[in-house]
């Protein structure tokens, strides 16, 4: 019996033997307890996931109004007050959060914080438009429960004291083309020629680096002046009573506000996807603005739910700041308690009741607007902080901070009772030290032991005959 040898080329694809390099098909039924393996497909059976609509982190941090938090690295925006930014412990208000400012008494200090918050948004919008080549971003402010004239009362930017303005005017005059200015320029050029060329632009590099930094993140406002020009509807949208009642329909007052807010946010983000939207709700539940039905706990709590939902839905774009008067709605009410639970941060402004008629929100008479010599006007209590309270931190601080309002700032500093030191003219009162007390006790015992038994037995006689001991004449 003979076998014929066959030559098979291994590298040839046409003459490849069956079973070589190809998976063999399974024969027979599958094993018990195991199902048939799924067919292998070159294409995915399910639909592809849509890419995230959120912009990259680097692009978001390029916005002139956004900074990362110093603790949690979340995106934050400034409130317009450096003191409030500091006590929030993020360097500002985190995006996607709702901050409630409560105020005791009949004052209206909280409106200063809300106006600064709104004015800073308009400042960022105008700065972004002027620097459109480097920062093509947008900022918008939405005010709830106010009319259009509310935007005209926002504070303007602080341009400096009268001395600073005079210096600025002198510099502007020097830039004008005159014979004297041209002569000064030639002398400055001759001085610059004496400096080596490699060191000539050394000072300009540091200026450029500071100019490219976040110098527009926050600014100072002059509370005596007003913003000029007035905000246009693209910068500040006021949702007033007439607009709310016209779009109310069969729904409630708060539901009409929420629908209008949602529509405005969607339209703004459609025009500019990288926009930062600041929502301001001043004097919440005030009877002059809101109808009596809004004070019902069910309606009020649903409105707070809606605001928190909008902030969380657009967590990269929206931040909400609102105020409420504790004189009208104290914290003991269930609706106010529920609002404190739902929002992300709660602060209370507690003005001092003493000599309240002499205190005002106007700036001091100092031309530079400093508040160093001005007394504090009240306390600031902290009940909740954004992000930290959600993570379980107990951030309750009462009576640890105080505030005072100046021409260019709403200062919030640590509060402490000052200790008065004695002056040079005052003589300190004599104090009974421990050594003097021991000496008095020792001499009292010696005087008692030296007396006779008969004199000690008669209490009245011993008291009259016993001489007084003068400690100043004794030699120790």
d(CA 277, CA 124): 11
**Exposed e or buried b per residue across 39-68, where buried means at least 16 C-beta atoms within 10 angstroms of its C-beta:** eeeeeeeeeeeeeeeeeeeeebeebbbbbb
**Span 189-248, pLDDT tens digits:** 555 555 555 555 555 544 444 444 456 788 888 888 889 888 998 899 999 887 787 777
The pTM of the whole model exceeds 0.75: no
Is the pLDDT score of 94 beyond 60? yes
Q: Which of 298, 297, 304, 233 is nearest to 268 (CA)?
A: 233
The residues, ordered by sequence, that sit 6+ positions from 212 with a Cβ below 8 Å of its Cβ are none
CB 385 within 8 A of CB 399: no
Helix (H) or strand (E) holding 448: helix 434-450
271 with 234: CB under 8 angstroms? no
Mean pLDDT, residues 314-322: 95
How far is residue 401's CA from residue 395's CA, in Å, rounded to a whole number? 13
* Phi/psi at 380 (5° precision): -125, 120
In this prediction, residue 167 carries a pLDDT of: 62
Mean pLDDT of the chain: 75
Task: Tell me the mean pLDDT in the region 409-423.
Answer: 78
Q: CA-to-CA distance for 16 and 9, rounded, in angstroms? A: 8
Rounded to the nearest 5°, which phi and psi values hold at 93? -100, 120
pLDDT per residue over 390-414, tens digit each? 887 778 899 899 999 988 889 999 9
If DSSP codes are grouped into helix, strand and coil, which group holds residue 411? strand
Residue 154's nearest CA partner among 331, 282, 287 is: 282
Are the C-beta atoms of 98 and 303 separated by less than 8 Å?
no
Q: Quick check: 265 and 310 in contact, CB under 8 A?
A: yes
List the single range of 147-151, 168-172, 311-315 with lowest mean pLDDT.
Answer: 168-172
- Whether the CB-CB separation of 352 and 377 falls below 8 Å is answered with yes
State what percent of residues in the chain have pLDDT above 70: 57
Q: Which CATH class is domain 61-157+229-357+375-414?
A: alpha beta
**DSSP 3-state of 346:** strand
Read off the pLDDT of residues 47-68 as tens digits, 9 standing for 90 and up: 555 555 555 544 677 788 899 9
Q: What is the DSSP letter of 407?
A: S
């Amino acid at each position: 019996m003979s076998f014929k040898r066959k030559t098979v080329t291994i590298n040839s694809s046409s003459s490849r033997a069956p079973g070589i390099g190809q998976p063999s098909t399974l024969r027979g039924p599958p094993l018990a307890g195991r199902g048939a393996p799924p067919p292998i497909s070159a294409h995915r059976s399910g639909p592809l996931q849509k890419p995230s609509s959120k912009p990259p982190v680097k692009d978001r941090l390029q916005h002139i109004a956004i900074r990362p938090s110093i603790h949690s690295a979340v995106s934050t925006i400034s409130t317009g007050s450096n003191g409030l930014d500091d006590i929030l412990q993020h360097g500002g208000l985190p995006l996607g959060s709702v901050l409630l400012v409560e105020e005791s008494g009949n004052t209206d200090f909280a409106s200063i914080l809300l106006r600064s918050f709104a004015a800073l948004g308009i400042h960022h919008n105008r700065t972004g438009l002027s620097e459109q080549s480097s920062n093509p971003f947008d900022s918008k402010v939405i005010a709830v429960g106010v009319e259009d004239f509310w935007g005209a009362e926002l504070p303007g930017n602080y341009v400096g004291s009268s001395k600073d303005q005079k210096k600025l005017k002198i510099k502007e005059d020097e830039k004008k083309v005159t014979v004297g200015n041209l002569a000064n320029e030639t002398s400055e050029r001759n001085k610059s020629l004496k400096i080596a060329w490699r060191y000539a632009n050394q000072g300009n590099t540091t200026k450029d680096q500071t100019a490219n930094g976040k110098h527009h993140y926050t600014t100072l406002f002059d509370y005596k002046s007003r913003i000029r020009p007035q905000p246009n509807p693209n910068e500040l949208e006021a949702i007033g009573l007439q607009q709310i009642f016209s779009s109310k329909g069969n729904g409630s007052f708060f539901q009409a506000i929420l629908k209008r807010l949602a529509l405005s946010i969607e339209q703004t983000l459609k025009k500019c996807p990288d926009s930062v939207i600041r929502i301001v709700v001043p004097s919440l539940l005030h009877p002059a603005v809101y109808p009596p039905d809004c004070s019902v706990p069910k309606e009020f709590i649903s409105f707070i739910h809606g605001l928190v939902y909008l902030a969380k839905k657009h967590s990269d774009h929206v931040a909400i700041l609102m105020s409420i008067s504790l004189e009208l709605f104290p914290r003991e009410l269930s609706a106010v308690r529920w609002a404190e639970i739902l929002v992300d941060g709660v602060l209370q402004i507690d003005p001092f009741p003493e000599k309240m008629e002499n205190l005002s929100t106007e700036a001091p008479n100092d031309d530079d607007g400093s508040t160093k010599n001005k007394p504090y006007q009240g306390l600031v209590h902290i009940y909740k902080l954004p992000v930290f309270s959600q993570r379980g931190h107990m951030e309750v601080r009462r009576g640890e901070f105080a505030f005072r309002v100046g021409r260019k700032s709403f200062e919030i500093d640590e509060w402490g009772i000052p200790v008065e030191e004695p002056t040079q003219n005052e003589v300190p009162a004599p104090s009974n030290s421990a050594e003097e007390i021991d000496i008095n006790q020792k001499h009292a015992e010696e005087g008692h032991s030296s007396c006779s038994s008969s004199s000690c037995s008669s209490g009245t006689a011993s008291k009259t005959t016993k001489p007084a001991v003068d400690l100043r004449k004794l030699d120790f």
